[in-house]
Amino acid sequence: MTDTSTGSQDAAGGGTSRASVLLGGGLAVVLLAAIGATGGWLLAGDGDPPSGDPLAAATTTAPPTSRTTATRPSTGRATPSAVRTSAAATKGSGLTVPPVIGTDFEQARDMLREQRLGWRLVFGGGAGRTVESTLPTVGSEVARGTTVQLQVAGPAPAAEVPDVVGKDCAKAADDLIDEGLYPRYISGRNGKVARQDPVEDGPARWNDEVSIWCGSGAPEQPTAKPTP
């Protein structure tokens, strides 16, 4: 009896142990499966591109479009603003081409000079010394320093060549321009004039050039004057 009882207990105990082993093995399998699944997800995550990257998302989602449309009004406003500023800066000088039509061209030149405007004389093939037209036209608003072209009816009259030898180069140029002539610098623009051509009272007409040599290295003026 004792052996039978003992055997039954062993059998029962053995059944319980086997159940425990089976249960433990099942839990282990579940845990291993879970761990394996987790490990597989982590590995997959490491291998896949970062789908949550905000830079990558920004290229396919709506925010970039909204940012782009937001900048367009800003650009549109900047352009008219620049135009208005530019127009305001050049408007309202109050300086216009004076009424020189019909006046002697020397008088017209003096009127332009008084307003600190430049001039350019263009002589025609008709008769007389009067100004027939201007460019820009009379009354046009101009900036200080603008060169105004004066169309003269007749041809260029004779001009008096001043003696500029020995004068500072800049002063010599001013004297030539006053007489309707223009300096042609042969050896620079610094120093005193050592030579000029044509010489004083030589043949010349308005708008002609007079060559001048300035500086210490310039050749000296010949002493003899050409015979008329």
End-to-end CA distance of the chain: 171
Residue 228: band (very low, low, confident or very high) from pLDDT cuts 50, 70, 90: low
Say what the pLDDT of residue 226 is.
Answer: 53
Instruction: State yes or no: pLDDT of 173 exceeds 90.
Output: yes
**Tens-place pLDDT, residues 49-66:** 333 333 322 233 344 444
* CA–CA distances in Å: residue 164 to residues 61, 161, 189: 80, 9, 13
What sections of the chain are H helices per DSSP? Answer: 2-47, 54-58, 63-90, 105-114, 169-178
Domain ranges within the chain, ordered by starting residue: 1-45, 105-152
Q: What is the pTM of this model?
A: 0.56
Rounded to whole angstroms, the Cα distance separating 96 from 142 reads: 5
Question: Which of 191, 189, 198, 190 lies closest to 163, judged by CA?
Answer: 198
Fold of 105-152: Trypsin Inhibitor V; Chain A (3.30.10)
